[in-house]
Structure 1
Amino acid sequence: MPNYRYQGRDRFGKIKRGKASGATPRDVTMALREKGIAVINLTEVKETLWNRELTLERSVKSQDFVVYLRQFSTLLNAGVPVVDATSLLAEQTESPALKKALFGIETELRAGHPFSESAAKYPKIFPLLFVNMLKAGELSGNLETSLERLADYYEKQHATTQKIKSALVYPISVSIIAVAVIIFMLTFVIPRFQAMFASFNTQLPLITRMVLGTSRWMTTFWWLIMIIICALVISMYILSRQSRIHYQIDRIKLKMPIFGPLLQKAAIARFSRTLSSLLASSVPILQAVDMVGKVVGNKVIEKKLIETRVAVESGESIASSMKNSVVIPPLVTQMMAIGEQTGALDSMLAKVADFYESEVEHTTDRLKSLIEPVMILILAGIVGFIVLSVFLPMFKLYNQLG
């Protein structure tokens, strides 16, 4: 959507300058007039490498998006029109990307376009799930209810994601510190002892020879190590972009001894919560299953959902099509079967999501209490091994002299 630089006067005659976006200059002029600004001069801003705004190239932080949804829902429930609510939130939000998108949507709304259609023009800001649930809410006349469900959904997703991140941050941080300490000792500390050990005129212990050899290799071929690391990172990135490799990586993640069950529970919670929210908003079942596959975040479960969609399209129930899956626990399929029989599939899926979100919370708490001492022991063992390799020759020399 084109951007324009405007100059105008407000109701009190004060000069106002700024930027606005719209499909045409007339749309921008009308939108500013409704804000009480009479346009004097309007110039289209041509995008160049120097003035291009890159804010929409980044998606909005989940926390900012959750706050926006909750505020939008509250304003609509209070009787504020959609256009005014959008304008108000565009002024208040702290996210530059969301601010620009909301100003663009405000212009579209004043031109008579539905909110869901306007939001669909900003796919990096408003996910497909958000757009489809809003569209269903607009068609049913329950936009406020759809927004409340979206706010609840994204709040729970944000809380679950934060729990998983908190469980992973500690081991990753300790691992980085451990690698940094080892590199420092092997490249700066150990080389200072090499000349001293050479003067002993005796065979050094095995672990000392191993550490000295590793130290010499690292200080000599450090450039080769950097090339190998860069090549591995680039290769992993390229391979992860391929569907088959991405599928295998996600499969391995689910089979990891400690974190696998946690990632599976988080994926099941996301799958259940998303499908429940979509069905409660009256999104058609086949379309809902399609969207769940795109947001579940795991290729293994996504593949199962694709197979489920084909089965449901041919007349099979969701529960029966997922019954023999390795990645979908029996509890989920049993609850889904009950929901389909009673006509309350969305509420049953919500209960499943509540259960697995609670499981994720308990599992992360247990993992954090377990991982901390294990990581400390591993770090102490590695550092102790290097320190021992330095002191063993000294003890050996001392015994010989004694």
Structure 2
Amino acid sequence: PASTRLVIAISDFLSGNPVLAFALIIFTVIGFMFFIKTKKGKRVLEFVVLKIPIIGKIAKQVNSARTARTLSSLLSSGVDMVGAISITRDVVQNHYYKEVLKDAGDDVQKGLPLSRSFKKREDLYPILVGEMIEVGEETGKLSEMLLQVAIFYENEVDTATENISTIVEPFLMVVIGIVVGFFALSMITPMYSLSSAI
């Protein structure tokens, strides 16, 4: 079977070329480190992180909390809306969140509500963020609502990070089980085929 040939080929390569195998691993790691420092590499990494189960959810909560707290602090300090959005855009690190805030700044300059941009990007900001901003706009208590959003997601992040080992452990067990199962199947299948042929 192809899986068995693959396992044997990898084993032969590692045992026959240990120095080359080690060098390839080192160069791969170094290449990856250089890649993620480039603009394109950073965007790819940010995209991947947001798509990883559990980790992606925490990343979204962190960015939501950071956005809300920064906007709340700036608005309550008397900074105008466009200026507050611009500063917040510089504070967040993820490129995709910067894009949302750029669109938000453009919308506000056109006279559109801030909540519009957040509600359009529920793939990045949870629906609660846009809804709370909308309530804040309607009641004239935007900075207070943003503060509540920040506190909520900061608490969510704290809880998630405290329990992350419990959450990640089953996921790792599944991954390990798949890998072990692949190698076991690769070894057992040829023996089964041989015994059937006798």
Taking structure 2 as the reference length, the TM-score comes to: 0.75
Confirm or deny that 1:281 pairs with 2:77: yes
**3-state SS in 2 of match to 1:323:** helix
Q: Describe the shift of the 1:238–1:389 C-alpha distance in structure 2 as closer, same or farther (beyond 3 A).
A: closer
Q: Describe the shift of the 1:338–1:389 C-alpha distance in structure 2 as closer, same or farther (beyond 3 A).
A: closer
Mapped contact 2:118–2:129 kept (Cα < 8 A): no
Q: What is the aligned residue count?
A: 185
Mapped contact 2:65–2:150 kept (Cα < 8 A): yes
**3-state SS in 1 of match to 2:120:** coil
How far apart are the structure 1 equivalents of 2:182 and 2:30?
32
How far apart are the structure 1 equivalents of 2:105 and 2:133?
15
Mapped contact 1:254–1:261 kept (Cα < 8 A): yes
Q: Between Structure 1 and Structure 2, which shows a larger proportion of helix residues?
A: 2
Partner of 2:155: 358
Partner of 2:88: 292
Gaps of at least 5 residues in structure 2 are: 189-198
How far apart are the structure 1 equivalents of 2:163 and 2:7?
36
Partner of 1:269: 65
Partner of 1:312: 108
Q: Describe the shift of the 1:382–1:302 C-alpha distance in structure 2 as closer, same or farther (beyond 3 A).
A: same
Confirm or deny that 1:334 pairs with 2:141: no
Higher relative contact order (CA 8 A, sep 6+): 2
The within-5 A match list for 1:2-401 is: 213-325=9-121, 326-375=123-172
Deviation at 1:373, TM superposition (A): 4.5
Deviation at 1:263, TM superposition (A): 1.3
How far apart are the structure 1 equivalents of 2:153 and 2:56?
14
- Give the residue type in structure 1 aligned to 2:168: I
**3-state SS in 2 of match to 1:368:** helix
Deviation at 1:346, TM superposition (A): 1.2
Mapped contact 1:276–1:345 kept (Cα < 8 A): yes
CA-based RMSD of the aligned residues comes to: 3.2
Partner of 1:111: none
Gaps of at least 5 residues in structure 1 are: 1-205, 393-402
Mapped contact 1:312–1:321 kept (Cα < 8 A): no
Deviation at 1:257, TM superposition (A): 2.5
Q: Describe the shift of the 1:222–1:371 C-alpha distance in structure 2 as closer, same or farther (beyond 3 A).
A: same
Percentage of identical aligned residues = 31
Deviation at 1:350, TM superposition (A): 0.8
Q: Describe the shift of the 1:288–1:386 C-alpha distance in structure 2 as closer, same or farther (beyond 3 A).
A: same
**3-state SS in 2 of match to 1:327:** coil
